[in-house]
Each structure stands twice: as C-alpha cells, then as structure tokens.
Structure 1
Amino acid sequence: MNLAPELIESGSENEAREGIEMAQLGDSSVLGDLVKIRTGIQSGGSAKKRRDTAKECDARVIKVRDVTSEHTIDYERLTTISTDADLAEKHWLKSGQVLFFGRMGQRYTVLIEGDVPQGVLVDKFFFVITIRNREQVRPDYLAWFLNSGPAQKFFKANESGSPHGFISKATLDKLPIDLPGLDIQERIGAVWSRWKRKKQAVLEALDSEGQLIAAKLDQAAWSGIHEQ
C-alpha cells in the first residue's frame, strides 16, 4: 500500500520515504478492530429528547463551521447549548480522540490534542473516533492515515448517497489500515505535524500579504480619484 504523497510534501523527503517503506512492512488491520466510533450529538432543539426532570448543564458544541482551514478548533468561538447532563458527561471531548468529517464531498480529520476545555461536545455531522489501545496505534498517525491517499481512495470507492456522497460508520469500520511500529508511527505523525505547521505559516503569510496589497491598491485608487 502506498502511504501517500502528503508526507513527501512535508519537506523531509528522505525521512518520509523511509517511514513509508517501513510502514508497509507493518501489520494490517481494519479500523473497527482498533477504535470505537460514534456519531456526535444532535444539538438542535428538536433533539433534546429528555424528560423535563432531567438534570441539565451547559455545553459547547463543535460544529462544521468551527473547524479552521488548518483543521484545528478555536474553542473560544463554540456555541453554548443546554443539554442533558448525564448524556453530556458520557460524551465530553477528550485529548487523543480524532474527529472525522465525511459529507458533501469533503473528507478530513481533526486531531484533538493538548488541553481540551471541560464541557465540549461534538455535533452529529462528525464521527468521534476513540482508540482502544494506544500501544497499537497513535492518535497522530491515525489522523494522518485517514487523510492519506489509500484511505481517501477507499472512501471514494465506498461512499454512500448521491450526488454528494457521505462516509458511513460501516465504511469507516471496514477501512484497511497499515500498522507499523509505534516508533515509525511517531515519526510519520511528526512529519505530518511539521507539514501542517508549515502550511499554516504559508497561509498566514499569504493572508498578510493580501491585506497589504489590498490596502495599497485602495490607497492608490483613492489618490487617483483626488488627482482627477
């Protein structure tokens, strides 16, 4: 299995190629044997199927609009809802989980890492993936693999619905996944993280340059009007 050009584009070509070759020598499995997959909560008002006597709590919900172009979450911008406290406590977002979005022709992951604020839930349009045993698979490797060429090819061949297909839980469960050793997984995850940081830096630089160019053009246009 070819483990994707994404690593090659990271700037560490030799390390990436070596990691890919060693990953191909690892064991193989299917995703459903390694993780627990559930859908996020339904956060709309009609979804609050609870008794009037149920204890409620405030929770912040990650929606599709809250995912940045770098596939990270800005927790400060999340919408706050009131929901069933007992249900919410079973579904609080935790570091090390992976969010998967596979709808409307888009397929991407969000790796949840670092400090996660208390009281965060995930909207129903995401799958929340929890690794059963981190001695088998690392979260960063899993997040990368779900974005890799082989995984995307599998999703494309098995998506449901039309014209814009979606990826079902059953399809995720059946995804074949290569499992190199944890040291190789760590190296691949590190390369992928460096590539994401590099991409973010480039996007921020382009955005800053675009704002500067726009300001200069506005100034030039304003000056031209007053010179007439």
Structure 2
Amino acid sequence: MTKAKLREIASIRTGYPFRSKIERNPDGTVGVIQMKDIDEYNHLELSDVYKVQLEDFSEEHLLRQYDILFRSRGVSNTAALVAEKIESFVAATPLIVIRVRSRKVVPGYLTWYLNQPCGQYQISRLSEGSSLLMVSKSALETLEIDLPPLETQKAIAEIAALSQREQQIMNELAQKRKAYINAVLMRKAVGG
C-alpha cells in the first residue's frame, strides 16, 4: 500500500463564489449544487437543484462526472461523488471540488476514504473553528491518503456504492412501513 498527499493525486478548488443569495431563475441554464443537495448518506440529490443564469463564469467551474464535492464547512465535513454524467452544473462555495488526476486512484474509493473514520479523523485535525468547523483548501491539500492497489480500490468503491444504496432503500422502506402502520392505526382509532 502506498500513501499520497491529496494535492499529489487530485486538483482541488473552491466552488463558484456567488456574491449574493442564490435565487431560482426559471430561465436559468446552470444548475447550482449547494450543501443542501447532498443528503445524509453523502449522496448527491439533483432533483431540487436551483437553476441560475451565469454570464461571467469560466468553463473550469463546470462539474464533471466523478468529481468529488467536499463539505468544507459545518457539522459534517464529508464528501459526495458526482456519480452520473452531468452538464451545466457548478458547485457553490463552501463546497470544495476535488478532481482526481491520477490513474492510480479511483474517485469512488477516494470519496469512500474521505468519509471513513481514518479520513474523518485527519480532516477533523485540519479543521478550524469551535462551533462551526471549517476546512480550508490548503489544509485539505495536505491530507494523506492510503492507496491500495487499483483493483482493491475498485472493489471497495463498488461495495461502498452498493452499501450506500442499500442504506437508502432500507430507510425508504422504514418510512413507508411507518406511514402504513400509522394509517392502519388511525383507521382503527376513528372506528374504521
């Protein structure tokens, strides 16, 4: 197993710096991914992404499939993978965009690693602030990543994605079961 600093295997940049509150625009052509668009399972949810009109932005701000979105501020400093092909989306600060540029790293593995206790421990040591934790881009660049062989990374990424999907399905099932039981009990309560 080898180790590498994050800056050695990926480019790291801050999200697009909006100067004011992000407002929906019905004629918007660019989707803006915010921290609210990453769920509790670190899955990117694109169904409620705000669309805006951006005139003065560089193409380098556009997200690509397999980019990693890192929550640099807040209670949870975790990462989410852009797993599907997307067009005309940018990430807003305080998200940090990590783009793997080494053929020796699987983006899904790196995302998984950042969210694991060993990655989270390192990240917590890099964070600043007392109540609202913040991880700077320069601090994140120094993060040391364990890199097993490529085939092992691929297997870990695949199993982690399946496990994440299983968690989501189990949660949806529990919510539907609760709603069903409550509906049955309510019918009984009102004499039905």
TM-score by length of structure 1 reads 0.76
- In structure 2, what is the Cα distance between the partners aligned to 1:204 and 1:130? 31
One-letter code aligned to 2:137 = K
Q: Secondary structure at the match of 2:167?
A: helix
Structure 1 residue 115, shift from structure 2 partner: 2.1
**Aligned partners of 1:205 and 1:161: how far apart in 2?**
38
Match of 2:37 among 66, 78, 83: 66
Measure, in 2, the Cα distance between the counterparts of 1:106 and 1:213. Answer: 33
Asked if 2 retains the 8 angstrom alpha-carbon contact of 1:43 and 1:81, the reply is no
Q: Is the 8 A contact 2:4 2:144 kept in 1?
A: yes
1:111-138 Cα distance to aligned partner (Å, 9 max, x none): 112221x2111111210001112x1111
Q: CA deviation at 1:83?
A: 1.2
Partner of residue 11 from structure 2, selected from 31, 36, 46: 36
Say which of 72, 93, 109 aligns to 1:124: 93
Paired residue secondary structure (2:93): coil
Greater Rg, structure 1 or structure 2? 1
Question: In the alignment, residue 70 of structure 1 is paired with which amino acid?
Answer: Y
Find the counterpart in structure 2 of residue 91 from structure 1: 61
Distance in 2, matches of 1:84 and 1:45, equals: 15
- What are the ranges of 5 or more consecutive residues in structure 1 without an aligned counterpart? 1-25, 48-56
2:93 maps to amino acid:
K
Instruction: Confirm or deny: 8 A CA contact 2:71 2:79 kept in the other structure.
Output: yes
Letter in 1 for 2:80: V
1:150 alignment partner AA = C
- SS at structure 2 position matched to 1:121: strand
SS of match in other structure, 2:78? strand
Aligned equivalent of 1:137: 105
Q: How does 1:39-58 map to 2 (within 5 A)?
A: 39-45=14-20, 58=29
Partners of 1:88 and 1:121 within 8 A in 2: no
Q: Tell me how far apart the structure 1 counterparts of residues 176 and 108 of structure 2 sit (CA, whole Å).
A: 29
* Distance (Å, rounded) in 1 between the aligned partners of 2:164 and 2:42: 9
SS at match of 2:61: coil
Q: Which blocks of at least 5 consecutive residues in structure 2 are unaligned?
A: 23-27
1: CA distance, partners of 2:11 / 2:145: 15
Q: Deviations over 1:115-169 (max 9, x none)?
A: 21x2111111210001112x11110110011011111111222210122211111
- 1:43 and 1:61 in contact (8 A); partners too: no
Letter in 1 for 2:143: L
Q: TM-score, normalised by structure 2?
A: 0.89
For 1:164, the equivalent position in structure 2 comes to: 132
Report % sequence identity.
25
Deviation, 1:44, is 4.7
RMSD: 1.9
Return closer, same or farther for 1:147/1:82 CA change in 2, 3 Å cut-off.
same
- In structure 2, what is the equivalent of residue 80 of structure 1? 51
Task: State how many pairs are aligned.
Answer: 187
Q: What SS class does the counterpart of residue 190 from structure 1 fall into?
A: helix
